[in-house]
Chains A and B, each alone.
Chain A
């Protein structure tokens, strides 16, 4: 559940960093709480949407980047859809995730899953589920969950043994290189994004 926070001083630098053009409308938040009352993840998060808006205004970067909330957000868009001021909290969450360098223990798997799925996309151009699940299981050491479902899924054709073959895969790898998107193997994590990597 969300816990109360103590404010030490006001600081607009985080808002300027995340939303320099004011597109997300964060400053317009009325603190009415309509977002939080409908939040899908309200019982599992540590910061509710209206609190997150306020914390950005107050420059509480460390608290936000270290929160579970930026990872537990389901991107369901309920908060922004019901907001009387159209404050785009889900877009704010995406921006916070993009600059966060790690995730709290309980939410690490979400970040790992995102990285694994992007790596899979980069390699195959389309998602190869069986391969993605294999890598995810190796990285999280979670070998057994859902394993019992695999035979039925394979039999029903809901999971394929063979990776997808799209001639667009080389183009996707180039997009990853040129946009600086992650999804590259861990050992490449610190390599410059747009240079030195051969495109397929």
Chain B
């Protein structure tokens, strides 16, 4: 299985641990991820909030390279997934947009490829049975709240989940690896996403509610599949605690870090040391 891999800007900085753990898990499960040469930013929120053609063209430049490689695109970032998949969908449906995009990037992109999130690849190409069989070190009944946020679940046309209001994909996968996912009601709420810098109080309110609900639901930790969600829940956790004086202490893992641990990959290779909320108590309970 070979895919054109689009890391995205966060994977090179705030979510470097997501990239490390994704590549390690892919290698362990024999998924070949070939990084798109000279990839560039998907445009993120500012592009779609500013100009519709720009928002389709920035992803299309990368998709066109993947198309010329004859490979489907895989990304781990939920936001990049959303922008790449939206552009792929829109260009495939609208010949005028396709022509405008071709004009802007200097090559025709026909939207003949598929854009997938890494979770989908694991679901469709690997399957729960193989994950169960490959889990050499199970997660010892770890109580995990799986958090999806917005961009993997909505809108319907781009959702990677069969039930966007109550998804189960990450739960099934981490359960196959030995964890005990908790059922909880906030798994598709918004964390405040791109307002982390511009409306920090909004993010503290929204992400604080998510963290507190996970804790109230009996979770030891949270698993996420989006670098923006991870940043808001993890990096902002100390600010959330400082605002109310309460201690939350909820480690926020990328789902690939937990999956990687079950596959026997070392904490160093999974970038565990990069998490801001100390995961050592939770990890120590699982043993070496």
Contacts and interface: CB of A to CB of B under 8 A. Distances in A.
Contacts of B105: 171, 175
A158 interface: yes
A159 B38 CA distance: 20
Q: Which of A76, A115, A149, A171 has the most CB of B within 10 A?
A: A76
Given A74-B192, A78-B154, A181 B53 contact: yes
Contacts of B100: 179
B202 A175 contact: no
Interface string A96-129: 0110000000000110111101100100011101
Contacts of B58: 121, 172, 175
Nearest to B200: A145
Given A75-B49, A78-B190, A182-B51, A110 B195 contact: yes
Interface stretch (A8-16, A25-33, A52-60, A162-170): A162-170
B189 interface: yes
B30 interface: no
B155 A166 contact: no
A158 B51 contact: no
Nearest to B274: A156
A167 B274 contact: no
A44 B202 contact: yes
Contacts of A179: 51, 53-54, 57, 100, 104
Nearest to B62: A168
Contacts of A88: 155
B198 A181 contact: no
A114 B49 contact: yes
A183 interface: yes
Q: Name the residue in B13, B39, B57, B61 with the highest tally of chain A Cβ atoms < 10 Å from its Cβ.
A: B13
Given A40-B189, A171-B105, A98 B52 contact: yes
Nearest to A109: B198
A58 B17 CA distance: 49
**Size bracket of the A interface:** 35 or more
Given A74-B195, A80-B154, A110-B195, A126 B276 contact: no
Given A76-B150, A178-B103, A121 B41 contact: yes
Contacts of A77: 150-151, 154-155
B12 A126 contact: yes
A78 B12 contact: no
Given A118-B46, A172-B58, A40 B190 contact: yes
Interface string A60-95: 000000000000101111101100000010100011
B218 to A, nearest CB: 25
Interface in B183-201: 189-190, 192-195, 197-200
B264 to A, nearest CB: 24
B267 interface: no
B9 interface: yes
Interface in B130-168: 150-151, 153-156, 164
B172 interface: no
Contacts of A125: 40-41
A152 interface: yes
Interface in B28-62: 37-41, 43-54, 57-58, 61
A186 interface: no
A178 B101 CA distance: 10
A80 B155 contact: yes
Contacts of B276: 152, 156
B154 A81 contact: yes
A160 B51 CA distance: 29
B273 interface: yes
Nearest to B56: A179
Contacts of A169: 40
Contact of B51 (A44, A172, A181): A181
Given A77-B150, A175-B105, 8 more contacts: A41-B202, A74-B193, A88-B155, A158-B15, A160-B12, A171-B61, A175-B104, A181-B57
State the 3 A-B residue pairs at the shortest beta-carbon distance, nearest first: A181-B54, A77-B154, A114-B46
18 contacts: A74-B190, A75-B48, A80-B155, A95-B52, A109-B198, A113-B197, A117-B44, A118-B46, A121-B43, A121-B47, A127-B10, A129-B13, A156-B274, A164-B12, A166-B40, A169-B40, A175-B104, A175-B105
